[in-house]
Structure 1
Amino acid sequence: MSRKRIAVIGAGISGLAAIKCCLWKFQKNPSEKMPMTSPYRTTFPNYMHNSKLMEYFRMYANHFGLLKYIRFKTRVRSVSKRPDFPTSGQWDVVVEAEGQRESLLFHGVLVCSGHHTDPHLPLQSFPGIEKFTGCYFHSREYKSPEDFSGKRIIVVGIGNSGVDIAVELSRVAKQVFLSTRRGSWILHRVWDNGYPMDSSFFTRFNSVLQKILTTASINNYLEKTLNSRFNHAHYGLQPQHRPLSQHPTVSDDLPNHIISGRVQVKPNVQQFTETDAIFEDGTVEANIDVVVFATGYSFSFPFLDGLIEVADNEVSLYKLMFPPNLEKPTLAVIGLVQPLGIVLPIAELQSRWAARVFKGLNKLPSAKKMMADIVQRKRAMERRYVKTVRHTIQVDHIEYMDEIASLAGVKPNLLLLFLSDPKLAMEVFFGPCTPYQFRLQGPGKWDGARRAILTQRERILKPLRTGVTSRDSRSSPGGLSWIRMAALGLALLAAGLTYFRHIKHSKQKS
């Protein structure tokens, strides 16, 4: 097949992954192995400072030769179907740079503009803000704390941005008040035995347990665990909803800043005056200098001219990627997800699948089936989450990754792994669910994936051991408990049933 021209809109984390996947998926010889970076023993800390993250992005772009494909300082003005779209699936993309517009033809479009694009600033919900004589702004405008020394500050919103800003400002401000309407469950980055939370929490073993156990029992366990670190009710943070009903907030520092008085938790602001804030519990904080609205974002696609409609932050996309009613599946949205986990590997996996769909190697179901899937996903989110604009694109990390990986033909086969490579299978099932797992088989298979998985714990611990004060006492996971054995047996049974159903279905088709 001839090479295709693909427009990637956005060069952030999703855009970089999309460019890389498009370049390698459209190679002439599909049997060529995709070059990958060899796993570093240590390069970066587990939780990177923004400067380190930027350094990683630059390394990624340079290693895969992506920069020459990026047009910087170029705005996409419109994306529209060509007149022959029903047969060609091609697009006209109008871009503008330095005041000059240009129309370009593309065979496919990957929209990677993200969902933190339009600051959500609901000022109508805060009567009197127009009379407030202090400074107020959306958290997107916040850069550093230096200009806020000695100020009395209210941060509205208890999401990750709100908490991070409140903690940082409290180091220089006279007083910081953290205003929250519902409260939130606070997760720590440092989890059991000092491991990063995501590497401990996001495992296939835990994913199986979540399917076996009741939602109530999981919520009970999470509440007990989170309250054992600090009692949320004592700190004025405990919400009425359970942990699984809201996107959690991650912060190791907030409890320390509350207990030291640098951050005071307050309920929702009922009204502002020229200088004061009146809260819903009747308390008043006078002489407020600054209000930071960490009230989240909404997303939109103005350049798509109505091709994807967004209402109250809700959008109808198959697998949160494909518009279901296009005559040709040559447009996809990448990274429009709010995962309980990290978005980077999800964006890459989405891009791998989208590239195969564009190429014609994978097919989408009928529009009717796609719409049914979209409705089912929306209903599941409504049942689970608190009703807010924040909970419209939520996904569970492993479950969603497996969903996309199955469609792309790269989901690891646990049953075959346990039969052929038990050591690897144990780490895949009980260890961190890292992106290497989706390079073990299928399109884009990487020969180094096995070694990368088996050595991933070393790379997690290596950045922490910058000054060893005693003999290295390596602790390996203990023997399998009966819970783990039961989960393992059920996982193998499920994998076996899935495998034999596939064999039976294949025989019926033949």
Structure 2
Amino acid sequence: MVNSASPKRCAIIGAGVSGLPSARWAKAYGYEPVVFELRNNVGGLWYYQNENTEFSCVMKKTIMNTSKEMSAYSDFPPPLDFPWFMTNQRMHQYLQLYAKHHDILKNVRFNHRVTRVERTPDFEETGEWAVEYQDANKNKSSEVFQAVLICTGRQSVPFMPPEYPGQKNFKGKIIHSKDYKDANIFENKKVLIVGLGNSGTDAASEVGQIAKSCFLSTRRGAWIHHRTIYGKPNDIYCNRRILEYVKKVFGRDFHAGLMERAFRSCFDHKIYGLNPEHKSYNQDPILICDELQLRLAAGQVVLKPEIHSFTENSVKFADGTVEEIEDVVMATGFSYNFDYLENGKIIPTKDDDLRLWKNMFPLSLMESKKGTTLAMVGMLQLSGAIMPAMEMQARVFFEVNAGHVKLPTTNAMHAEIMRDQEQRRRQYMGARANYTKVCFIDYMREMGQLIGCYADPFRLVFTDPKLAYRLLFHPDLPYSYRLQGPFAWPKAREMIFSVYERMDCGLIKKDTRAVQKVQSRDKGYLTMSVVSLTLSSAIFFYLLNSLLTVMV
């Protein structure tokens, strides 16, 4: 076993959207990051490869569901010429630019597979971990690290549902959406897509255009939203702190009613047979798809209930209908496998109940004084952009291990996990994947408060009222978590106030792309401002009470 010559090293498993910010913040806190990456490039899921491999990646035509400014890392705004929504190619380009900007590439060991991570014999004194790995030539090695971050994401192990009656006799091909790249292989075929998630709706929207017939099977309806609303990215409207106060004051049913009205304004769920019986807050995240409505309207995609059984060349559905099917795509999500972490003893995976405090720290390690030296980054399902939350997790990890955060007792952590899980069980449908779901704004606030980087708008009312207004009534941008606290970024305030100009630069023709005050005369932004002011008057007394509480 090779001991580290460096005083502090952090092993980071994965060089994707969670591994790269983890390496960036490891450097900031004096660690030497060593990033183990299975692929030959950074980007993780966003490194598209046309051939089928063991690695998961996005589909060929995938476009981000969240807008570029909401999806940015906190000190690295996307290039001005990037449009609102990044394709997978642009997203990969952004990640490469980020890695180069923070000089991370030299710390990445490509084509390396981590095979085992275990505590060293003196772990209780040192908090160190032994990491075993293989290089591209299958040579095995082991090194000791002072910290470990698991950044392999939520989409590594495809989940296949239990076999349906007659499935073994089916003569067609059944694949998981992990192996779906583009629709060309289904041209002029009879195809069934199983699962009404983001992957399922995207696949159906593509396949429906070239297949002989395309069916989309779902057990229940779903709330589906477009990427834009009022002619602008929907997440700049939906992810505002003021809306969380609306939820607290008027109740989540009132808030859900507002959101569902917005969903119906761009997609008549009832007429397309998608109208769900559940409230929008029972489904998180809300599905984002711009094309499914058109495919349904054109008859290119036909909705079906859940599968009842298979025959050799057909599928029978729960409503008794039978359709001839040649190929099936199971868009049924992913599972977890952490057997390489001490044979799966550190993180349980039964029913996806990972027992992670703040979706990061394994509860099984918290009895140890050195138990915080290993954590997960990216085990989240958010009602918003995931990249800022992943970066926040990395910041929290290093602040905790720097001794700057006072952690609750293990019993308190356990109680919090149980309370959160029970709340998720009551709120969300189904058993799988509930335990990783969090509200973007609530989670960012909680994590920001842990390390002192949450800029409370109520504290800024008298010292910086313009900024307070921006933080409360405008998008909850990643830059707002660099206004104060550790490693505050001097340009954060400027980025917050110039966000609308930067957003639209990618869509404005180059010869007219000079800095423009587009937000001051934009109808969409103006509409939301009026709505915000109306809501602010309705909850004035609540905010006043909160302000007085803070001041006291």
TM score, norm. by length of structure 1: 0.91
CA distance in 2 between partners of 1:155 and 1:209 (Å): 38
Which letter maps to 2:373? T
Tell me the equivalent position of 1:394.
Answer: 437
Aligned mate of 1:309, from 342, 348, 354: 348
CA distance in 1 between partners of 2:497 and 2:374 (Å): 37
Q: Is the CA contact 2:8–2:146 (under 8 Å) kept in the aligned structure 1?
A: yes
| Deviation sequence 1:302-332 (CA, Å, 0-9, x none) | 1112111111111111111112342112111
Correspondence 1:320 to 2:359: yes
- Note closer, same or farther for the CA distance 1:220–1:40 as it changes in structure 2 (3 Å cut): closer
CA distance in 1 between partners of 2:79 and 2:122 (Å): 52
Tell me the equivalent position of 1:135.
Answer: 173
Aligned mate of 2:158, from 99, 119, 138: 119
Q: Is the CA contact 2:224–2:267 (under 8 Å) kept in the aligned structure 1?
A: no
Aligned mate of 2:263, from 226, 244, 249: 226
Which letter maps to 1:51? Q
Correspondence 1:291 to 2:328: yes
Q: Write the mapping of 1:62-77 to structure 2, written as runs, cut at 5 A.
A: 62-77=100-115
Q: Is the CA contact 1:155–1:177 (under 8 Å) kept in the aligned structure 2?
A: yes
Correspondence 1:18 to 2:70: no
Moved more, 211-220 or 259-268: 211-220
Tell me the equivalent position of 2:254.
Answer: 217
Tell me the equivalent position of 1:437.
Answer: 480
Q: Write the mapping of 1:225-304 to structure 2, written as runs, cut at 5 A.
A: 225-247=262-284, 248-286=286-324, 288-304=325-341
Q: Is the CA contact 2:74–2:482 (under 8 Å) kept in the aligned structure 1?
A: no
CA distance in 2 between partners of 1:489 and 1:352 (Å): 35
Q: Write the mapping of 1:28-427 to structure 2, written as runs, cut at 5 A.
A: 39=77, 42-97=80-135, 98-124=137-163, 126-191=164-229, 193-247=230-284, 248-286=286-324, 288-305=325-342, 306-326=345-365, 327=368, 328=370, 329-427=372-470
Q: Is the CA contact 1:414–1:492 (under 8 Å) kept in the aligned structure 2?
A: no
SS in 2 for 1:71: strand
CA distance in 2 between partners of 1:38 and 1:382 (Å): 36
Which letter maps to 2:240? T
- Note closer, same or farther for the CA distance 1:474–1:468 as it changes in structure 2 (3 Å cut): farther
- Note closer, same or farther for the CA distance 1:27–1:291 as it changes in structure 2 (3 Å cut): closer
Residue 11 of structure 1, CA deviation: 1.0
Tell me the equivalent position of 2:542.
Answer: 490
- Listed as ranges, the gaps of 5+ residues in structure 1 are 29-34, 501-510
Q: Is the CA contact 2:388–2:478 (under 8 Å) kept in the aligned structure 1?
A: yes
CA distance in 2 between partners of 1:443 and 1:3 (Å): 22
Which letter maps to 1:19? A
- Note closer, same or farther for the CA distance 1:194–1:51 as it changes in structure 2 (3 Å cut): same
Which letter maps to 2:267? F
Tell me the equivalent position of 2:41.
Answer: none
Moved more, 376-385 or 490-499: 490-499
Q: Is the CA contact 2:457–2:469 (under 8 Å) kept in the aligned structure 1?
A: no
- Note closer, same or farther for the CA distance 1:39–1:270 as it changes in structure 2 (3 Å cut): closer
| Deviation sequence 1:150-209 (CA, Å, 0-9, x none) | 111100000000000000111211111111011211111111x21111111001111211
Residue 57 of structure 1, CA deviation: 0.8
Q: Is the CA contact 1:128–1:273 (under 8 Å) kept in the aligned structure 2?
A: yes
CA distance in 1 between partners of 2:546 and 2:299 (Å): 51
Residue 38 of structure 1, CA deviation: 6.5
- Note closer, same or farther for the CA distance 1:315–1:194 as it changes in structure 2 (3 Å cut): same
- Note closer, same or farther for the CA distance 1:298–1:444 as it changes in structure 2 (3 Å cut): same
| Deviation sequence 1:46-74 (CA, Å, 0-9, x none) | 21111111111111111110111111111
- Note closer, same or farther for the CA distance 1:74–1:123 as it changes in structure 2 (3 Å cut): same
Tell me the equivalent position of 1:505.
Answer: none
Q: Is the CA contact 1:325–1:367 (under 8 Å) kept in the aligned structure 2?
A: no
Aligned mate of 1:451, from 494, 498, 520: 494
| Deviation sequence 1:96-143 (CA, Å, 0-9, x none) | 11211111111111111111111001142x221211111110000001
CA distance in 2 between partners of 1:38 and 1:78 (Å): 33
| Deviation sequence 1:266-324 (CA, Å, 0-9, x none) | 111111111111111011112x1110000011112111121111111111111111123
- Note closer, same or farther for the CA distance 1:332–1:27 as it changes in structure 2 (3 Å cut): closer
CA distance in 1 between partners of 2:456 and 2:542 (Å): 14
Q: Is the CA contact 2:74–2:481 (under 8 Å) kept in the aligned structure 1?
A: no
| Deviation sequence 1:369-422 (CA, Å, 0-9, x none) | 111111111111012111230322100001001111111110002123221111
CA distance in 1 between partners of 2:430 and 2:467 (Å): 41
SS in 2 for 1:238: coil
Q: Is the CA contact 2:22–2:391 (under 8 Å) kept in the aligned structure 1?
A: yes
SS in 2 for 1:13: coil
CA distance in 2 between partners of 1:48 and 1:102 (Å): 38
Residue 498 of structure 1, CA deviation: 3.8
- Note closer, same or farther for the CA distance 1:386–1:172 as it changes in structure 2 (3 Å cut): same
Which letter maps to 1:74? H
SS in 2 for 1:11: coil
CA distance in 2 between partners of 1:123 and 1:372 (Å): 33
Residue 451 of structure 1, CA deviation: 0.4
CA distance in 1 between partners of 2:511 and 2:279 (Å): 40
Residue 485 of structure 1, CA deviation: 2.8
TM score, norm. by length of structure 2: 0.85
SS in 1 for 2:488: coil
Q: Is the CA contact 1:25–1:352 (under 8 Å) kept in the aligned structure 2?
A: no
% same residue: 35
CA distance in 2 between partners of 1:205 and 1:280 (Å): 43
Residue 25 of structure 1, CA deviation: 2.0
Q: Is the CA contact 1:412–1:438 (under 8 Å) kept in the aligned structure 2?
A: yes
CA distance in 1 between partners of 2:277 and 2:122 (Å): 54
Q: How many residues align?
A: 489
Q: CA RMSD in A?
A: 2.2
Q: Is the CA contact 1:38–1:448 (under 8 Å) kept in the aligned structure 2?
A: no
